[in-house]
Every structure is written in C-alpha cells, then in structure tokens.
Amino acid sequence: MKSAARRIWGLVYRHVCMYRRSWPRLAEIAYWPTLELLIWGFTANFFSRDIHAGSPILAGAALIAGVLLWEIVLRAQIGVTLSFMEEIWSRNLGHLFVSPLRPAELVLALLAVSAIRTCIGLLPATIIAFLLYHYDLFAPGPVMVLFFFNLLFMGWWVALGIVALLFRYGAGAEALAWTIAFGITPVACVFYPLASLPAWLQPVAQALPAAHIFEGLRALLLNGHTDWGQLAMAAWLNMLWMLAAIAVFGAEFRRARILGALISIGE
C-alpha cells in the first residue's frame, strides 16, 4: 500500500515539477475558467439589471453558478487527459509502462493531478465572481460540496473514456480531449432548464449526471430548497458511467497490449 502510494506520488510529482517551473502552464490552468466567468458574469449582470421578468437577479446568479460549476467538469476532464497526453508528447509512456506502476495507479495519479488543477483553476474565477458580481459560490452551504464532487466525477469518467480512445486511436485522437466535454454542454442543461430541450432530447440529457446537478442547482438558487432526489440521481448516474468508463479503459488497455499500441501510441 505504501509503495503504491509512493508510485502514485511519483507520477503526481512529475507534473508538479513541470508546472512549478512554467508560469504560462500555471496561468493556463486558470485562464479559461476566469475568461468564461468574465464573459458570462457580465452577461448575467446585464440580464439582472436590464431585463425585468421573473426574478432576474436570481437567474443571473444561476447563470454565474452554472458557468463556474460547469468549469469543474471541463477542468477535471482536461486535467486527466492533458496529463496523459503530456506522457504521449514526451514519449515517456514506454518507461512508465515498464515500471511497476499499475494501470490503476496511473489512473489515480491522473485523477489527483486533475483535482489539483481543477482547484487551482477555479480559485481565481471564484474570487472574481465574488469581487465583481457579489456572487458567493458557497453561500448555499456545505451542500455545494456534493455538487462539486458530482461534477468532478463526471469530468473524470468522461476523461477516462477519452484516454481509452487514445489507447485505441493513438495521438491522432487527441482533438477529442478538447472537444468531447464541450460537445456534451448542450444536453448538460447548464444554462437553461431541462424543459427547454425538445422532448426527444430530454431522455439523453437525463442520462447524464450534469442535467440533474444543474436542475438541482437551479432549484437551490431560485427556490432555496435542496433537491436531494436530483443529487442522488446524479450520484447514481455518475457511478454507472464511471464503472462503464473503467470497463472501457481496462478493455482498451488490454487491447493496446495485444496490438502493441503502448509502444506506438505517440506516432
């Protein structure tokens, strides 16, 4: 157990070394969440001040919360896939896979790097949201931790699926790392309620934890009550999707060892 933890730390340390020396890389982690927050925050301000229907201030808050929280999924996913692609780009996978590092330990290390990156990335945006828009992400209380972890998990299983595709299709599939989570956004119901989607698309959205998380978030911000049913459904779906992602990851890793893709993945 101790040596497993040390191996996981070894790989996390590899990324810490890389980031601590490169301010552009460090800045990049926070750049997109901050930029998104600024764009949507000002948009939300506009709605809050100038549009007089329903409860515009709360709707603005829901929009800002949506922007901030959806970034958790995006950052968590990119944190895993980018760290994995760093190993492809540096042609280091050959050394890693002939070390005693188990695939599960590799995954845990990637998740740990992702969690660190996500926290670092969101911190400036959260502070800016408070300073510029007087929006306190944590005002609803400890329940926000459940929203956070649900979204983190969603980012992780999406990322594991992408890493599995990288095993199958090699570095040629790296564009997926940047596009898949963004592609999910329309059915994640981040900025609008589930009812806004056409009826035929709603089951697709409901199969994703994000739709339940953001329905729950809107209920919390607009009506002040925690919809535990939505949170529980999100957690349940996350678990199912995570198990599926782990199964696909394992299958693609085994396939890569049979076809020799671990040797040629960077080519």
Partner 1 sequence: MAYPAAYPQAMQAIRAESLTKRYPETLAVDNLSFTLERGKILGLLGGNGAGKTTTISMLLGLLVPTSGRITVLGHDMAKNRFAALARMNFSSPYISLPARLTVWENLEVYGHLYNVPKLQSRIGQLAEQFRLTGLLNRRAGELSAGQKTRVALAKSFLNQPELLLLDEPTASLDPDTGDYVRTALEEYRAETGAAILLASHNMAEVERLCDEVVMMKQGRVADRGTPAELIARYGREDMEEVFLHIARSEAL
Residues near partner 1, by CB under 8 A: 3, 6-7, 9-11, 13-14, 17-18, 21-22, 86-87, 90-92, 94-102, 254, 257-260, 262-263
CB 17 → partner 1: shortest distance, Å?
4
Nearer to partner 1, 49 or 254 (CB): 254
Strand, helix or coil for residue 174: coil
Q: Is the separation of the CB atoms in 193 and 211 below 8 Å?
A: no
Nearer to partner 1, 82 or 187 (CB): 82
Strand, helix or coil for residue 142: coil
Nearer to partner 1, 21 or 225 (CB): 21
Nearer to partner 1, 97 or 149 (CB): 97
Determine if residue 222 is left, alpha or beta; phi over 0 gives left, psi from -120 to 50 gives alpha, anything else beta.
Answer: alpha
CB 77 → partner 1: shortest distance, Å?
22
Half-sphere exposure of 173 (CA within 13 A, CB side): 15
Q: Rounded distance, CA 242 to CA 248, Å? A: 10
Q: Rounded distance, CA 45 to CA 205, Å? A: 28
Q: Is the separation of the CB atoms in 37 and 70 below 8 Å?
A: no
CB 22 → partner 1: shortest distance, Å?
7
Question: What beta strand segments (E) does the chain contain?
Answer: none
Q: How many other CB atoms sit within 10 Å of the CB of residue 195?
A: 9
Non-local (6+) Cβ contacts of 142 within 8 A are none
Q: How many other CB atoms sit within 10 Å of the CB of residue 247?
A: 12
Q: Rounded distance, CA 91 to CA 94, Å? A: 7
CB 21 → partner 1: shortest distance, Å?
7
Nearer to partner 1, 224 or 260 (CB): 260
CB 11 → partner 1: shortest distance, Å?
7
CB 176 → partner 1: shortest distance, Å?
23
Nearer to partner 1, 164 or 205 (CB): 164
Nearer to partner 1, 102 or 134 (CB): 102
CB 121 → partner 1: shortest distance, Å?
20
